[in-house]
Amino acid sequence: MTLTSYLWLVPLFPLAGAAINGFFGRRLPKQAISAIALLFCGLAFGMALLLAAGFSSASAPYSCDLAHWIRSGTFQVDFSFYLDQLSLVMLLVVTGVGFLIHIYSIGYMWDDESYYRFMAYLNLFMFFMLTLVLAKNYLVMFIGWEGVGLASYLLIGFWFTKDSAASAGKKAFIVNRIGDFGFLIALFLIIQHFGSLDFTTVFNAVTPLAKETSGAGFLTAIGLLLMVGAAGKSAQIPLYVWLPDAMEGPTPVSALIHAATMVTAGVYMVARSHVIFERAPEALTVVAVIGTLTAFFAATIGIAQTDIKKVLAYSTVSQLGYMFMACGVGAFSAGIFHLMTHAFFKGLLFLAAGSVIHGVGGEQDMRKMGGLRVYMPWTCATMGIATLAIAGIPPLAGFWSKDEILWQAFNVSWVYWIIGVITAFITSFYMFRLMYMTFGGDVYRGATSPSGHGIDDHGHSTGHGDGHGHDPHESPWVMLGPLVILAVLSIVGGLVGIGNHFEHFLAPVFQGPAVEAATEGASEAGKSGLEYLLMAVSVSVAGLGWFLAYLLYSRSPQLPARIATSLGGLYRAVVHKYYIDEIYAALFVKPLIEGSTAILWHGVDQGVIDASVNESAHAARELSDNVRHMQSGNLRSYAGWVAAGGAVVIAYMVWMGVTH
């Protein structure tokens, strides 16, 4: 029995951890809970490493069939897991980053009274995410898909006593649902046309099909619907609205789910279905357009946010847009590459933000921070590394992946490229803005008493004592350790992209005309001058963003306010996220609620169901009210009834006698 035959253990380890912590965690001491959670997550990570050691770009994909599930005529779906290069990459990212975040959470959530619940939910999320990544057919992937949505809901609304957190969880789940609907329809179409949901079967059936030219083909439909699902899960236009609200959850949740793993499920799904997309060019174009637009749109919103986590949230949406842009131009491996590096630096950014919030006692507004590099040197250093990475400064990880995407995009259309470059400029700007506002300067603006956020993003009982504004402090090593590890990964993680090694590793998965042409067009032997030129452009743009941020937030901090007032309405629109939430509320939510209230509640529930029950009771009452007058106690009326009844019977008998 080779190791790969135990593939099914990888998702089941965290499930066991979740079950133990979930059922028994209330009675276990915190040390035991932490140990259990870490143990099972670590086991999954360990197995992933072992599997990776035995896997190379030439290895054949491995299937692990666990059990029968649906056997209905010719249609069958089994619980099967699948390991190829793509799922291996995802597996390593998920288990690796997940393991680090588990360690971090021990420190961050230690003082929370529902500590066991948090650890159980984290493990549960790992189980579902691993199911999604290792699935061999769309239906098992859908289990994972829905499951991570559930875990996300549970974790966003972890502090469910807070109204905003509960609403945010609900919003995330419902918006995800809309995407899932598209995904489901796509599944139905796949079943209808191919009779199976198994990846191998479907892709083998799709491969000989020709590219669809006009937009009327079913492959285009499937591609578009899959993209709807991905837009819901990965927070793209128009279904991104849940991600900023999801920042209500604890920061480790934001790091794990809404940066590194869950939101990347959409990208993974599109990459996995690349066979379908490559034969539906119009769907692919839609993917690229959505990705590009989202990248730009979200970046512009990120400029004006003052909450440190919201900036990172919009940044996540923007970077996911980059990944979809990559997939949309056919560079699926570039998209996965950026997924991996993004997991490193965005996870690091969120964890460091959590460290900052932990250190200042719960404050999340950057206007009340500043000068924190003195108090939190390690956090500042690691966050700085992550900022360099996301801005795309070589030789850190973000540079390699972002550049690969921009290069591939340029080969398809310069429009994508130019928007991508502008977005890179904006990204660099707002990330360095964040750094300067939080760590820069000499004055800690929150030096007065710590703002009361209620439960806020912390759960940290202020054992430091209220009343006097306590100084910000560095976080314990249980939280700093993962930061350092992720910082190292952010530095070296991109180097696998040199020489297109990463692409070659994934080549067996993405063998397709688009990728082939791209790799051969820009082979390692002949990195064309054009590519270097574009590289230089993107780097200088990133530098420009840094400089602008330095100008506005370090040198002349009074400038931003003046610019804001002079821009007036435009600035207000950006600050209010272009009022998208309000528009959605007016367009969809309000009519839906009012329609439901009027039609379903008053009309159907009260008017039909309640009314029928009440009316039948009422009718019974009326009937008995009228019939009871027969019981008058009057002997003669009784006799009258008897006589009349007797006459009827006699008449009947006579009639029977006459007619027969």
Q: How far is the CB of 638 from another protein (least distance, A)?
A: 8
Q: What is the C-alpha to C-alpha distance for residues 306 and 302, in angstroms, rounded to an integer?
A: 9
Q: What is the C-alpha to C-alpha distance for residues 154 and 160, in angstroms, rounded to an integer?
A: 9
* Cα-based torsion angle of the residue sequence 4, 5, 8, 13 in order, rounded to the nearest 10 degrees: -70
Output the six-digit token pair for 559. 């400038």
Task: Mark residues 20-59: x for contact with another protein by CB under 8 A, - for none.
Answer: ----------------------------------------
Exposure string of 542-563, with b = 16+ CB inside 10 Å and e = fewer, is beebbebbbebbeeebeebeee
Contact with another protein (CB under 8 A): which of 23, 414, 601, 641?
Answer: 641
Output the six-digit token pair for 176. 């995800």
Q: How far is the CB of 170 from another protein (least distance, A)?
A: 55
Peptide bond into 281 cis (omega under 30): no
Q: How far is the CB of 615 from another protein (least distance, A)?
A: 24
Contact with another protein (CB under 8 A): which of 565, 635, 659, 660?
Answer: 635
Q: Select from 105, 138, 134, 139 the least CA-distant residue to 122.
A: 105
DSSP string, 549-591: HHIIIII-TTHHHHHHHHHTHHHHHHHTGGGHHHHHIIIIIHH
Q: How far is the CB of 590 from another protein (least distance, A)?
A: 54
Q: How far is the CB of 655 from another protein (least distance, A)?
A: 9
> Any contact of residue 452 with another protein (CB under 8 A)?
no
Task: Mark residues 592-631: x for contact with another protein by CB under 8 A, - for none.
Answer: ------------------------------------xx-x
Q: How far is the CB of 618 from another protein (least distance, A)?
A: 19
Contact with another protein (CB under 8 A): which of 73, 467, 568, 657?
Answer: 657
Q: How many CB atoms lie within 10 A of CB 594?
A: 10
Measured from the CB atom, the residue of 555 and 629 that comes closer to another protein is 629
Count of residues that interact with another protein, criterion CB under 8 A: 23
Cβ distance 149 to 169 under 8 Å? Answer: no
Contact with another protein (CB under 8 A): which of 633, 656, 659, 660?
Answer: 633
The stretch among 391-399, 551-559, 594-602, 634-642 that binds another protein (CB under 8 A) is: 634-642
Contact with another protein (CB under 8 A): which of 536, 586, 609, 643?
Answer: 643
The stretch among 184-192, 391-399, 461-469, 633-641 that binds another protein (CB under 8 A) is: 633-641
Q: What is the C-alpha to C-alpha distance for residues 377 and 111, in angstroms, rounded to an integer?
A: 24
Amino acid present at 102: H
Measured from the CB atom, the residue of 3 and 643 that comes closer to another protein is 643
Measured from the CB atom, the residue of 614 and 637 that comes closer to another protein is 637
Q: What is the C-alpha to C-alpha distance for residues 371 and 366, in angstroms, rounded to an integer?
A: 11
How far CA 55 is from CA of 81, 90, 546, in Å, comes to: 16, 14, 40
- CB contact set of 559 (below 8 Å; sequence gap of 6+): 551, 552
> Any contact of residue 588 with another protein (CB under 8 A)?
no
Per the document, the length of the chain is 660
> Any contact of residue 654 with another protein (CB under 8 A)?
yes
Measured from the CB atom, the residue of 498 and 648 that comes closer to another protein is 648
Contact with another protein (CB under 8 A): which of 192, 204, 448, 637?
Answer: 637
For the chain, the C-alpha Rg in angstroms (whole number) is: 31
The stretch among 205-213, 356-364, 527-535, 643-651 that binds another protein (CB under 8 A) is: 643-651
Contact with another protein (CB under 8 A): which of 364, 576, 636, 659?
Answer: 636
Q: How far is the CB of 614 from another protein (least distance, A)?
A: 24
> Any contact of residue 517 with another protein (CB under 8 A)?
no
Q: How far is the CB of 619 from another protein (least distance, A)?
A: 19
Cβ distance 357 to 458 under 8 Å? Answer: yes
Q: How far is the CB of 648 from another protein (least distance, A)?
A: 8
Q: What is the C-alpha to C-alpha distance for residues 387 and 266, in angstroms, rounded to an integer?
A: 24
Q: What is the C-alpha to C-alpha distance for residues 206 and 208, in angstroms, rounded to an integer?
A: 6
The stretch among 231-239, 388-396, 542-550, 649-657 that binds another protein (CB under 8 A) is: 649-657
The stretch among 124-132, 306-314, 327-335, 647-655 that binds another protein (CB under 8 A) is: 647-655
Residue located via tokens 């490193």:
344
Q: How far is the CB of 627 from another protein (least distance, A)?
A: 9
Q: Select from 336, 324, 318, 256 the least CA-distant residue to 545.
A: 318
> Any contact of residue 533 with another protein (CB under 8 A)?
no
Measured from the CB atom, the residue of 208 and 633 that comes closer to another protein is 633
Provide the sign of the torsion angle of the four alpha carbons 627, 628, 631, 636, taken in this order. Answer: negative
Cβ distance 263 to 165 under 8 Å? Answer: no
> Any contact of residue 644 with another protein (CB under 8 A)?
yes
Provide the sign of the torsion angle of the four alpha carbons 365, 369, 370, 375, taken in this order. Answer: negative
DSSP state of 4: G
The stretch among 120-128, 280-288, 408-416, 640-648 that binds another protein (CB under 8 A) is: 640-648
Q: How far is the CB of 621 from another protein (least distance, A)?
A: 14
Q: How far is the CB of 154 from another protein (least distance, A)?
A: 59
Cβ distance 509 to 87 under 8 Å? Answer: no
Backbone angles phi, psi at 75, to 5 degrees: -90, 125
Q: How many CB atoms lie within 10 A of CB 307?
A: 17
Q: Select from 310, 309, 328 the least CA-distant residue to 419.
A: 328
Output the six-digit token pair for 636. 């003669």
Q: How far is the CB of 645 from another protein (least distance, A)?
A: 8
Q: What is the C-alpha to C-alpha distance for residues 152 and 177, in angstroms, rounded to an integer?
A: 12
Q: Helix or strand or coil: residue 392?
A: coil
> Any contact of residue 377 with another protein (CB under 8 A)?
no
Contact with another protein (CB under 8 A): which of 632, 656, 659, 660?
Answer: 632
Measured from the CB atom, the residue of 555 and 628 that comes closer to another protein is 628
Q: How many CB atoms lie within 10 A of CB 304?
A: 21
Measured from the CB atom, the residue of 607 and 645 that comes closer to another protein is 645
Output the six-digit token pair for 185. 């329809």
Contact with another protein (CB under 8 A): which of 634, 656, 659, 660?
Answer: 634
Contact with another protein (CB under 8 A): which of 445, 505, 639, 660?
Answer: 639
Q: How far is the CB of 620 from another protein (least distance, A)?
A: 16
Measured from the CB atom, the residue of 533 and 635 that comes closer to another protein is 635
Measured from the CB atom, the residue of 568 and 633 that comes closer to another protein is 633
Q: How far is the CB of 610 from another protein (least distance, A)?
A: 30
Measured from the CB atom, the residue of 620 and 639 that comes closer to another protein is 639
Contact with another protein (CB under 8 A): which of 651, 656, 659, 660?
Answer: 651
Measured from the CB atom, the residue of 547 and 638 that comes closer to another protein is 638
Backbone angles phi, psi at 304, to 5 degrees: -105, 5
Residues that bind another protein (CB under 8 A): 628-629, 631-637, 639-648, 650-651, 654, 657
